[in-house]
Amino acid sequence: MPDNLSDLIDELALANRILAHEGVLDAFGHVSVRHPSDPRRYLLSRSRSPILIEPDDILQYTLDSAPVQPPNAHLYAERVIHGCIYQARGDVMAVCHHHAPAVMPFAIAGKPILPVFHLGAAMGEHAPFWDQHDEFGDTNLLVVKQEEGHSLARALGPHSAVLMNRHGATVVGGGGGLQELVSRAIFMCQNAEYQLRALMLGAAAPLHRGEIKLAGAISLMPNVVTRTWEYWSMRLAASGATPPRRRAAKASRGAAAKPAPTASRKRNKAGNKR
């Protein structure tokens, strides 16, 4: 995970767009990352569709999900999901909340997603369920109150993902940061698709516990995470949706403001000196 704040902001914008391009996020859903030098803060975009997010959209929040600077934009209503998980889990470096079509049938039916192929082991042995209605009764299903966020974080517990009944899922990344999170979120959705298709054939046998441990470790190895990140980044680039880099954008604006002198200008300057 980048130690430099600007590089991490660039990576967060890219992670949003990759997850949107790969079908995990749509117009809704959001991704955050813990601040690289202050664990009491995290980074999250202003309220915007993930495929459109640019580095300039990224804001800093305290762990109670209050913006560090007064914002001039709308904020995600469900940002408490991120703050409460960062409070509860010091090992979590990145969080994604989504309503991926691959996961929604399981969230609606209350049926568990279990690892059924080797890359699916990145999600861990299983993802627990959280039903907002059990504790809070009738709501609009958005997680907007601190107590709701803390309840969700408790349901997540030590796991890598939690399914939210009739709503979606929340996935976390550890020391591998955003790149680990992106891999886990995408592989979990692929796993859900394969599991559902296998069930249509009559059975979906999950991996054995030892297989989950061994295959899960391989899927999160740095060289594997880097390989998949490059692959998804290139797919995004081929679609023309790569976000501008923060530094590059500033550099280009500076260059535009200070055009290089033309040859005639150089000759005029030389003549003035004489």
Task: Note the pLDDT of residue 253.
Answer: 35
pLDDT in tens, 123-161: 999 999 999 999 999 999 999 999 999 999 999 999 999
Go through the domains of the chain in sequence order and give each one's CATH number: 5-273 (3.40.225.10)
**Secondary structure class of 31 (helix, strand, coil):** strand
78 annotated active-site: yes
- In angstroms, how far is CA 231 from the centroid of its own chain? 16
- CB burial of residue 132 (10 Å; 0-12, 13-18, 19+): buried
- Please, are residues 65 and 83 in contact by the beta-carbon 8 Å criterion? yes
Cα gap 243→53, rounded to integer Å:
7
Q: Output the CA torsion sign for 125, 153, 11, 18.
A: positive
- Please, are residues 47 and 211 in contact by the beta-carbon 8 Å criterion? no
**Secondary structure class of 74 (helix, strand, coil):** coil
Active-site residue, selected from the candidate residues 11, 78, 148, 180: 78
CA-based nearest residue to 15, from 127, 173, 175? 173
**Secondary structure class of 252 (helix, strand, coil):** helix
CA distances from 50 to 15, 112, 184, 237, 243 (A): 9, 27, 18, 15, 11
Task: Note the pLDDT of residue 265.
Answer: 40
Task: Note the pLDDT of residue 42.
Answer: 98
Residues of the chain with pLDDT under 50: 248-274
Assigned token pair, 37: 């030098």
- Please, are residues 161 and 124 in contact by the beta-carbon 8 Å criterion? yes
**Secondary structure class of 60 (helix, strand, coil):** strand
Task: Note the pLDDT of residue 247.
Answer: 59
CA distances from 260 to 30, 235, 247, 263 (A): 41, 35, 20, 10
